[in-house]
A and B are shown apart, each in its own frame.
Chain A
Amino acid sequence: MSPDKKMMVSMYETMNRIRLFETKLQEFFAAGRIPGFVHLYLGEEAVATGACAGLTNQDKITSTHRGHGHLLAKGGDLKLMMAEIFGRKDGYCKGKGGSMHIADFDLGILGANGIVGGGGPLALGAALANKYEKTDAVVICFFGDGASNQGTTQESLNMASAWKLPLVFVNENNGYGISCPQCKSMAVTDIADRAAAYDMPGVVVDGNDVLAVHEAVSEAVKRARKGEGPSLVECKTYRWRGHFEGDACTYRCDEELKEWMAKDPIPRFEEKLVESGVLKKKDLKEIKARIEKEVGEAVEFAEQSPLPEASALMDDVYA
Chain B
Amino acid sequence: MSKKTYLQALNEALRQEMERDEKVFIIGEDVGQFGGCFGVTQGLFDTFGEGRVMDTPITESAIVGTAAGAAASGLRPVAELMFVDFIGVSMDQLFNQAAKMRFMFGGKATVPMTLRMPQGAGIGAAAQHSQSLEAWFMHVPGLKVAIPSTPYDAKGMLISAIRDENPVVFLEHKLLYGVDGDVPDESYTVELGKADIKREGTDVTIVATSLMVHTALAAAEKLQADGISAEVVDPRCLQPLDKETILGSVKKTNALVVAHEAVGFAGPGAEIAAMVAEEALDYLDAPIKRVAAPFCPVPFSPPLEQAYIPNEDDIVAAVKSIR
Cα-based distance from A37 to B57 in the complex (angstroms) = 21
Whether A88 sits at the interface, judged by CB under 8 Å, is yes
Residue of A nearest to B90 (CB): A151
> Which residue on A lies nearest to B61, using beta carbons?
A151
Whether, in the assembled complex, A159 has its beta carbon less than 8 Å from a beta carbon of chain B, the answer is no
- Closest B residue to A144 by beta carbon equals B58
- In contact, B300 and A313 (Cβ under 8 angstroms): no
Chain A 184-243 residues near chain B, CB threshold 8 A: 184-186
Complex CA gap A312/B301 in Å reads 11
A177 cross-chain contacts in B, Cβ below 8 A: 29, 57-58
CA distance A313 to B294 in the complex (A): 9
A35 to B303, CA, bound (A): 11
Mark contacts of A74-97 with chain B using CB atoms, 8 A cut-off: 1 yes-contact digit, 0 otherwise. Answer: 000000000000011000010111
Inter-chain CA distance A35–B296, complex, in Å, is: 20
> Is A314 an interface residue when CB atoms closer than 8 A count as contact?
yes
Q: List, in ascending order, chain B residues with CB within 8 A of A101's CB.
A: 126-128, 300
A115 with B86, Cβ < 8 A, contacts A35-B300, A87-B302, A177-B57 known = yes
Within 8 A of B (CB), among A126-163: 146-147, 149-152
Give the chain B neighbours of A178 by CB distance below 8 A: 29-30, 34, 37
Question: Given the complex of chains A and B, what is the CA–CA distance between A88 and B302 in angstroms?
Answer: 10
B contacts with A: majority SS: loop
Question: What CA separation (Å) do A177 and B123 show in the bound complex?
Answer: 22
Choose one: B58, B125, B301; the contact of A37 (CB below 8 Å): B125
Residues A114 and B128 in contact, CB atoms below 8 Å apart: yes
Given the known interface contacts A313-B294, A313-B308, the answer about A150 and B89 at a Cβ–Cβ threshold of 8 Å is yes
- Asked whether A149 and B57 contact (CB < 8 A) given A100-B128, A178-B29, A179-B34, the answer is yes
Known: A178-B29, A179-B34. A115 touches B303 (CB 8 A): no
User: Are B303 and A149 in contact, with the CB atoms below 8 A?
Assistant: no
Of residues 287 through 319 on chain A, the ones whose CB sits less than 8 Å from some CB of chain B are 307-310, 312-314, 317
Known A-B contacts A114-B129, A115-B88; A312 and B304 likewise in contact (beta carbons under 8 Å)? yes
Bound state CA distance, A177 and B86, in angstroms? 16
25 contacts between A and B (CB under 8 A): A96-B126, A98-B126, A100-B128, A100-B129, A101-B128, A114-B85, A114-B127, A114-B129, A149-B57, A150-B59, A151-B62, A177-B57, A177-B58, A178-B34, A179-B32, A179-B33, A179-B55, A180-B55, A180-B58, A307-B301, A307-B302, A308-B303, A313-B304, A317-B296, A317-B297
Chain B residues within CB distance 8 Å of chain A:
29-30, 32-34, 37, 55-62, 85-86, 88-89, 123-129, 294-297, 299-304, 306-308
The 4 closest A-B pairs by CB, nearest first: A36-B124, A98-B300, A114-B128, A35-B124
